[in-house]
Amino acid sequence: MLRTVLANPALLDPTPTEVIDRRTAGQISDDEIMQVLLDWDFTFGRVPVKGGVSANAYEPGS
């Protein structure tokens, strides 16, 4: 697990779901969650295409 995190430190960054869970647990306020989610750099998921052919896979966004 340490090797995985060292290779990709972004895995330690919180996800929107984790931020929502923190709000549900009362660890952050309504104002804090709104600010975090408004500032979030959301990306769309996609189906990878190689050689003009869609793969049988899905790459999630953030």
Residue 25 lies in a domain: yes
3-state DSSP assignment of residue 50: strand
Whether the Cβ atoms of residue 55 and residue 47 lie closer than 8 Å to each other? yes
What range defines the domain where residue 40 resides?
Answer: 2-54
Q: Is residue 59 part of a domain?
A: no
Residue 60 lies in a domain: no
- Total domains in the fold of the chain: 1
Domain assignment present for residue 26? The answer is yes
- The Cα–Cα gap between 38 and 25 comes to 20
Q: Mind listing the pLDDT tens digit for each residue in 16-33? A: 899 999 999 999 999 999
35-62 per-position pLDDT tens digit: 998 998 888 999 999 999 999 999 888 7
Q: Quick one: pLDDT at residue 12?
A: 79
**What pLDDT does 38 receive?**
92
Instruction: Flag whether 62 is in a domain.
Output: no
- Single out the residue of 20, 62, 15 nearest to residue 43, CA to CA: 62
CA 2/CA 14 separation, integer angstroms: 17
